[in-house]
């Protein structure tokens, strides 16, 4: 008697997504809906397509109001397929967070390979928020929606925290390297990194509230403040 195929439980489904190199494009907006993230290549499998559709819905509405049926309907599949890959709405939501974080840092790391000094690395992270403004703005929005719903899940909290931990590591390492190289005046890297992260969040939230906000200009102003804090002369 043939054995049934093993079910990819939530964590395994997420690991599968992490191994995927390809991203969704604007050409799939008809499938994903008008609130879809601006990801750049087509999803390679059904699980990834589910994550992209879920990300669009969570960003357009919020974690509490989006149902498994809504997500299944957005991509034209049975709800059983979502439970097959992810097990629960919470696991799917966590997968959307992981997916967005991976996409944000994948772009940054790709650009970082061409960067040679600490100021360029810091500027690259700031500019990443302009290049991927739509994606990061929606990541911040769904994180805020989730945090305000009163129901916290430890695994989701960790996934959201990972974005900030990875950001802190990249930026603080660049600040320390710049101090060591005599490019920056001595400062507390942790405090300045927190300053940068907090102001980036504020810029992304404001640009979500007011679509006419000059995102590139606001990020450039933040960069000027950072250079002043570091006494860096370009």
Average pLDDT over residues 102-118: 83
pLDDT at 12 over 60: no
- The pLDDT-based confidence of 27 (bands split at 50, 70, 90) is very low
The total number of structural domains in the chain stands at 2
In a domain, 189, yes or no: yes
Tell me, what CATH number does 36's domain have? 1.10.10.60
* pTM of the predicted model as reported, rounded to 2 decimal places: 0.74
Confidence of residue 224 (pLDDT cuts 50, 70, 90): very high
pLDDT at residue 168, rounded to an integer: 95
Banded pLDDT at 20 (limits 50, 70, 90) = very low
Range of the domain at 205: 91-230
pLDDT value, residue 44: 52
Q: Are 92 and 51 in contact (CB under 8 A)?
A: yes
Task: Assign residue 217 the CATH number of its domain.
Answer: 1.10.357.10
Q: What's the token pair of residue 190?
A: 């942790």
Q: What is the mean pLDDT of residues 113-121?
A: 86
Decide which of 43, 65, 89 is a domain's last residue: 89
**Residues 68, 114 within the same domain:** no
List for the chain the helix, strand, coil content (%; round to 5): 70, 0, 30
145 has pLDDT over 80: yes
HEC-encoded secondary structure of 51-79: HHHHHHHHHHCCCCCCCHHHHHHHHCCCH
Domain end marker among 71, 89, 107: 89
Residue 18 has pLDDT above 70, yes or no: no
């Amino acid at each position: 008697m043939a054995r049934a195929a093993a079910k990819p439980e939530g964590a395994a489904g997420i690991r599968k997504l992490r191994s995927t190199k390809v991203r969704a494009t604007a050409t799939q907006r008809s499938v994903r809906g008008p609130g879809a993230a601006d990801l750049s290549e087509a999803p390679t499998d059904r699980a990834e397509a589910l994550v992209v559709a879920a990300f669009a819905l969570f960003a357009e509405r919020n974690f509490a109001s989006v149902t498994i049926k809504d997500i299944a309907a957005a991509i034209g599949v049975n709800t059983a397929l979502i439970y097959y890959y992810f097990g629960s709405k919470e696991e799917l939501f966590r997968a959307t967070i992981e997916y967005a974080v991976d996409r944000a840092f994948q772009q940054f790391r790709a650009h970082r390979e061409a960067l040679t000094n600490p100021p360029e690395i810091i500027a690259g992270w700031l500019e990443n928020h302009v290049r991927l403004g739509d994606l990061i703005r929606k990541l911040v929005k769904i994180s805020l929606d989730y945090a305000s719903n009163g129901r916290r899940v430890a695994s989701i909290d960790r996934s959201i925290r990972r974005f900030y931990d990875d950001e802190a590591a990249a930026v603080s390492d660049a600040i320390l390297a710049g101090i060591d190289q005599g490019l920056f005046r001595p400062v507390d890297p942790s405090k300045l990194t927190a300053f940068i992260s907090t102001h980036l969040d504020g810029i992304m939230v404001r640009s979500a509230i007011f679509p006419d906000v000059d995102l590139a200009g606001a990020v450039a102003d933040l960069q000027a403040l950072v250079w002043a804090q570091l006494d860096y002369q370009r």
